[in-house]
Structures are given as structure tokens and as C-alpha cells.
A and B are shown apart, each in its own frame.
Chain A
Amino acid sequence: MKKVITGNHAVSYGSMLARAEVVAAYPITPQTQIVEKISELCADGVMDAKFIKVESEHSAMAACIGASAAGARAFTATSAQGLALMDEMLHWAAHARLPVVLANINRSMAPPWTIWTDQNDTISRRDAGWIQFYCESNQEVTDSVIQAFKVAEQVELPAMLVLDSFYLSHTSEPVDLADIALVDKYLPKYQAKHDLDPAKGHPAYGALCNDEWYFELQIKMQWAMEKALDVIIAEDALFGEMFGRSYPVVEGYRADDAEYLVFVSSTIASTAKDAVDRARAEGIKAGSAKVRLLRPFPKPQIKAIARGKKRLGVIDRNLSYGSEGAFFTEIKSCLYSEPERPEVHGFIAGLGGRDVTVDTVYEMIKITASRSPETDINWQGAKLA
């Protein structure tokens, strides 16, 4: 059934369709509508979940960890400062190998106080051990909640899906809400392998571990992340068969015969298609490639789509202070082992919600097509003295 809903409500309905059993969340702009809708769905009996009101985001994740350890499917949502306040528990969920799913609305970090979008809140959580999906549309948001649980529970790692504040969170568009009976077939009830249950001889987790085994546990997390890439691709393929919608980990648009390719993520990936069409109309052989994942990073797919291109561009709506854009670093890094390495432009655009229009992306495509990079950062759409 298709309904015109906001990105926030796409998250709420996604958690309902995925049959989250415990939701613990604390409201924060621009995520508040997610929590309001879930609490309403629970109160109305439409969603059969325990909704736990908490006093902070740290407690929200702590409650999700407890619920997940006990064998329940646990979900939460937050944004920016809220994600930062969760940080200790984010690491705990990952190291405890708990498949908690979290929706984060990408909101810029304060100060100055702000509610508009960029990716620095999630980019700075890159190494917490969470799978990270970056979403382009409200449809992808709903579907990614369902897919995230399916993947997380197989590889025993938590997963977050990420969406731009306002450009998705508060934007209404048609979303096909899947038949819940079909979702049940795709995503059966969660069966924890080692649920916290003294009767089963699993009375406690997270005890002290000396240098005898900690290292090996980290390697297992890495293996789980590497496996996650294959699982994400396989589960997306199955999702495509069952629901008719698919989200490749790297999705090219007019990329096959392109000479110049720009890498994009989140809502900019959508706008970029119009910019690519304009560039093509003006005779520039351009294409775009949407990167859906930051972790695990889809290295083979990045290499494959970049192969044979004359020059690349990477558009980052984030900044690693003292270095460059995060996707720019990642993409250059995985191309280093390639026999032929195209030049790569690094663009930073849209920080703090600065609008990234078709014109803005077109400008970046033109720069990519017309000259070699001179610096690691091209600031796009910024007021520079």
C-alpha cells in the first residue's frame, strides 16, 4: 500500500513492519516524529512492541542492549548530539555483538546550535563497529530498516541507517509499505544464539577479558564486517525478488560509458541524477555512483565502477578536520592497489544543511571533467573571502 509519508514516519513504519519488540528512544529534533509515531502505534496496539521511555540517549541504547542481549529485536532512533551521547553504549552494542538497529537523522554537530543536515555525527562514529547504511529516499528508509535487521542478526553486529535531516526526515513522498505477512517471510522472528538466560547457562556477558583473547575477538568483529558486505548484497537480492525493490551497495547512474564519475551518498545521490542528465545534454560524458555503505566499505564495487574512468569526483557532506572528506579518503584508499589510478577530486558541500542543488552538483561534475585536482578539498557553495 502506497502512502505519502515523511522520512521520519518511513522509519517508524519500517520498525513496525520489522516487528521490533523493544523500542527505547529519547526525542530530539529532527527525529521526534519517529518516536511520536512509534509510541502512537504501540499505544494503539498496531505495533506489538514494548516502548520504553528513557531519560537520555545513553539510556536508550543501554535499554536496547539489555533487550537485545535477552533475545528481543531492539530498535532506537536519534540524531547528532543524541548519537554522541550514546557513544559509549554504541561501542558496547558492537563489541557485545548485539544486532540492535538504530535510525540516525544526520544533523550537524553543535555548536553553533543547529538542526540542519550533514554527516559528521555518523562519520565520527565510523569506527564504533556498526554497519552504516546511507539512504536516498523515504522508500529506501523503510526498506533499509527491514534489511538492516536481517543483516545485523546474521552477522551479529548492530546496524544504523542514516537519513538527511529535513531533506528526508521532514519531506513527504509516496512510500510503498510492504505487506507485513511478506515481511515476516523475509525477516522471521529473531532467534538469539546466546540469549542472556541463566537457565540456559548464559548468565552474564561482558566480563573482564585480558590480553589472552581480546585481540582475537577484534579479528572476529572484522570478519563479521567483511561477511556483512556479502550478506547485505545477498539479502538485498532476496528483498528485490520478494518486494521488487533493490539497493545496490554502489549504484551507478549512466556510469557504464561515463568518462567522468562522481561518487555521492544520501539525498545528494538523488539530485545528482538530474545534474548528470544536464551534463550529458551539454556533451559531458558524466555519470554518478551512489555509495550506500560506509561500513562495511564496499571496496570491490568501488574499484569495479571506477575502472577505466578518466577522472573521478567525490562529494562529501562531511569533513574530517585536518584531513578531508570521509568518502574521499575511503575511495582513494581502495583505488591505491589498482593498476591504473584515475585522478580524484574531493568536494565538500552542504555542511550544516547548505542547500545542494542540481546546479551545485553540475558545477562539481564540470570541474571533475575539465581539470586535474589541485587540492584535496574543493569547497562548494561556501562563502569564502
Chain B
Amino acid sequence: MEFLYASEILLNGLMAGVMYSLVALGFVLIYKASGVFNYAQGVLALFAAMTLVGIMEGRVPFAHLLGAVFGIHVSSFGWTVPGAVAILLTALVMVGVAIAIEKLVLKHLVGQEPIILFMATIGLAWFLEGLGDVMWGADVKVLDVGLPQGISETVETLTNDWLGYGFFIDRLDIWAAMIAAVLVAALVGFSQYTKQGRAMRAVADDHQAALSVGISLQFIWIMVWSIAGFVALVAGIMWGTKSGVQFSLSLIALKALPVLMLGGFTSIPGAIVGGLIIGMGEKLFEYFIGPMVGGATENWFAYVLALIFLVFRPQGLFGERIIERV
């Protein structure tokens, strides 16, 4: 029975890992294209999820501000928008955000050191965090796009019949795994087999060289940030469905960091494998070792594992090895 329970924990760890990978993917995309660690990726997920709920519920953006400044007290348009349409509209908003980021931030920092761009994304995170609150309010929002939640009775019944122990798997986690698989396949295909994907990789290798062969840096950055915005929207939907859309959603980026250290900052499959290892490892560690040290070891374990990887394989499992000669 203990073995079966440990197997159940392992399976749920893998599922949790998929959820971490969804966030990590956005980081990888931007890092691949620009060599920038996008500190704002978690906030992008929060902003996307808030916008999705706002559109679905027909909320008036900046309603509180309109009331405070102009005395216009209106919080709702009085309509609701179906989930699929709202997701499409939110994706368009994220493209708009990508264009604004390129025009207002990135364009002015071409050729700057990566640390400057990293600091710019810190500023961006603070700005988007405040903008999201002002646009849609700081309350906890319920997100329901029709994804099922709760125990999968099929898995429970099947495992009970076969093994005599009904496994718990959350239906939302199963959906997350399927969505992540589709997303990764699409991103890998795009990156490897399309003209824009190859251009994206060229920009990642060398901005100046890519410009010299006629690749539009402006277009590539807008495209990459738009895709990262869409990935953030997917992550926001999954995490928002799980525990409501609220500020804490932006903190899931902290879960993505050890995943990236493990999988490598430049590998899309690495983000998935890293997520699975972290998810599985932290759950099993908590089960076997947690009780001996007082529990709550999951965050600690993820970072310790990532640090060990940094010592022995700094580029991560699938990352590109960078050799700089001085």
C-alpha cells in the first residue's frame, strides 16, 4: 500500500510539474529570442488572467478610477462574453501589450547589456502589477472557462480495479498536461520549421548580425512577446481556475525559476522536463524526508536541487553551453 501511495504522489508530482512548466515556457521563449530573463513573466500571467475575467464578466476597465476622477460610477457593461471569445480577445490584448513593450521599452534598449534589459523587465513587472489592479480591481476573481476540476473518477475506478487502490488525479491537471503537450509541440514546430521561428533564433544568437541580414528586430520582439503573452494567458487560465485570479498568481514565477535552472533557459523541451523533475522530486522529498524535518520542504527542495544543478551543469539539462573567451 505504501508503494502505491508513493506512486500516487509521484504521479501527482508529475502533474504539478506540468503546471510549473507552463509558466517556465514563457521565460524560455523570451530568453531564446533576446537573451533576457523576463522578470515580468509571472505578472504577465496575472495580467492576462485578470483581463480574461474582466472581458468575460463585462467589467468596465478602470471603473474605480473613473469614479474617483470623473464621478462616473459604472462597473459593468451589463453583458457577459463566452469563454472562447474572451480568450481570443485577451490574446489580442496581449499582442497590444507586446507592441507597447517593444515601442516603449525594448526599442530604446537595443544593444544594451542583458542586465539592463533584465532591470527593465523588473520595472515592467511593477508597472503591469499596478496597471492590472487599477484596470480590474484587486479582488479575488473567479475564473471559469469550463475546465473540469476535482478527482477523475475514471482513473480512481480503473486503478482501484487493477491495483486495489484508487489513485487521485485532478481532472484539471490532466487537462493541463494535454494543453502543455499541444503547446510545446506547436512552439517547437514554430521555432524549428517556420521562417519566423528561424529568424527568432537568429536574433537570439546575435542582434546585430540578424539586423545585417535584414531581419526586423522590431517584428521579432513583438512576435516573441506576443507568444510569451499567449503562453502566460494559458498559464494564467490553469492557475486561475485552480485557486482564483489574484496577486499570488504572479508568484508562480518563483516556481518556474528552479525549473529553468534545471531544464536550461534556452530549451522548450527542457522547460517541460525540468518541470516534471521538480514536481516529482519535491513531492517525493516531502513524502519521504518531509516528516523528519517538520514538513513544508517543497519550495526549499526545488531551489536546492536547482543549485546542485548550477554547480555541476550551469547551462541546465538541455541548455546551450556558452563559452566566452576573455
Check if A and B associate: no
> What is the interface of chain A, defined by CB distance below 8 A to chain B?
none
> What is the interface of chain B, defined by CB distance below 8 A to chain A?
none
